[in-house]
Amino acid sequence: MAYELPLNNWLSLIKDEEAKTALGNVKLPDDTFFGESVYKIGNKIINISAKTTDINVTYLSNLFKTKPVGKNLDIVFPKSKIRFIVSGKKNATNRNALGKKLSDAGELATIAALTKPIKSPEDTGQQIFIDDVKAFKDWQLTFELTPKAVNKIIAPLPISKFTILHDATDRTNFKGIISDFTTKAKVVKDSWNPADIYLIKTLKATVILTQLMNIIKNYEGSDLVSAFNAKMYDFFMKKDLIPISLKQLTGEPKIELNNIPGANIPKDSDIVLKNFNCDMSLTSKEIGLFTFTNKDTNKTISMQVRGFPFGYTIAQTEITSDGSLTGGRLGKVSTSVVDKVLEGRINSISFFGNVTQGAFNQFDQTKINESWTWYTTVINDNNVTVNNRLTKKEFEELIARAKKDFKIAETLCIKIQGLKIMYLLVLRKAEISVIMNKLINGAKKISSDNGFFIKIY
């Protein structure tokens, strides 16, 4: 497949017909191509710089018979110069390693998109997208469609009537009020309400915040949670304060209202174990995919246990497909929910050993034997597909290598945590439906104690 240069984005700015004609007929081998910046003399644009991939730069170099200097390829015309720069394009593995940094940058750029168009990596204000145009492209649909979804939610009011509250940018005392509420109510903020942003009506902000503070002052215990949640929903109905959970989008966004006070919790689904993939070798960074069948919809539920970000850390549980008719991606399940539902999971890195004292330094023969029992129980279950089956000797050798090689320790640490959860689920196979409904509701933050929020996904 060949791709045209994005003339409408930036090349049309140059008043050099020869350049426009020459470049306008180019068909690129790779569609990863973004304008970066322009250079002016007075009001006249004379040069332009654009990032693209090494594949495109090599192609353009051969086409125009011009050699690049370092990462720069300059194509000179009588009235202008076009510089193509090889981007630091990263593959999916490297981007996954960025983990939370990329997610945080995507969230901040999505928020920026609510008030201005995001057409290029520079528009995001996030260095991670400027350095990696492929990552930018992966998020570009989100930057385009999220504002449209938000506008539907707040219609007929424009976004200009609201102040966008976010932990990283909030200049009011809203963050402190939420902290006071969660502390007094003894709830975890992200478990109570996973909203990433709150749109607060600017002219009413002081009154809204005062009312929330008064509730915290005048209520206790479960009454505090009920009153606070009811007030938050009342504010939404008046379009005074709107909590929104943002997700990276892969298509037309859906808008879902969650935890409406007084509404019934959705009926539990009939869920059975479908298949677990168990791979304890070093060929991958997690144990494998957990799949279940929602018998009510005949759809598959997918779950993973992995690091966010990957490393010598406590793994988190993520529902990647919820088994509904629409196949929603739910995201991470709160560790507090996982602990309640799956008693006995590994919930502290001390199980392996503090990294300052040496990775896996606490993993003695007793723990090796214990985890080997988990492994043999799992691989002998009929619903488990085993990849790269290990002997006990091979398993013990992996542990020994992990004590000497931190990279191996990182992988094995995550895999053993996934193995323990797989083991607990195999043991409690008869309870799978109850367990998975609780985990799914936990991922959705659906509970009578949870706060109202709107999810765009």
Same domain? For 38 and 99 the reply is no
Identity of the highest mean pLDDT range in 93-97, 145-149, 347-351: 145-149
Same domain? For 396 and 416 the reply is yes
pLDDT tens-place string over residues 267-325: 789 999 999 999 999 988 889 999 999 999 998 999 999 887 778 888 989 887 776 65
Does 258 reside within a domain?
Answer: no
pTM listed for this prediction: 0.60
Same domain? For 15 and 66 the reply is yes
Confidence of residue 37 (pLDDT cuts 50, 70, 90): low
Same domain? For 28 and 70 the reply is yes
| Domain total of the chain | 4
pLDDT higher than threshold 60 for residue 128:
yes
Same domain? For 362 and 416 the reply is yes
Q: What pLDDT sits at residue 456?
A: 94
Same domain? For 281 and 239 the reply is no
Does 448 reside within a domain?
Answer: no
Q: Are strands 453-456 and 241-246 parallel, antiparallel or unpaired?
A: parallel
Interhelix angle for 205-218 vs 174-185, to 10°? 20
CA distances from 119 to 86, 253, 365 (A): 19, 19, 57
Lowest average pLDDT, out of 83-87, 255-259, 408-412, 435-439, goes to 83-87
Does 264 reside within a domain?
Answer: no
Q: What pLDDT sits at residue 445?
A: 72
Same domain? For 164 and 311 the reply is no
Q: Are 414 and 305 in contact (CB under 8 A)?
A: yes
pLDDT tens-place string over residues 328-383: 566 678 777 788 888 889 988 899 998 777 899 999 999 999 999 999 999 999 99
Does 453 reside within a domain?
Answer: no
The answer, yes or no, to whether the previous bond of 156 is cis (omega within 30 of 0) is: yes
Lowest average pLDDT, out of 75-79, 304-308, 397-401, 442-446, goes to 442-446
Same domain? For 133 and 25 the reply is no
Q: Are 114 and 158 in contact (CB under 8 A)?
A: no
Strand partners, 50: 35, 84
Same domain? For 111 and 147 the reply is yes
Does 266 reside within a domain?
Answer: no
d(CA 32, CA 53): 6
The neighbour count for residue 340, using CB atoms within 10 Å, is 12
Q: Containing domain of residue 309, as a range?
A: 271-443
Does 456 reside within a domain?
Answer: no
Closest to 253 measured CA to CA, from 136, 145, 152 = 145
Closest to 440 measured CA to CA, from 349, 338, 355 = 338
Of 134, 154, 174, which residue sits at a domain end? 154
Closest to 259 measured CA to CA, from 206, 187, 159 = 187
Same domain? For 99 and 211 the reply is no
Of 34, 54, 86, which residue sits at a domain end? 86
Same domain? For 149 and 167 the reply is no
Of 154, 175, 203, which residue sits at a domain end? 154
Does 244 reside within a domain?
Answer: yes
Same domain? For 315 and 434 the reply is yes
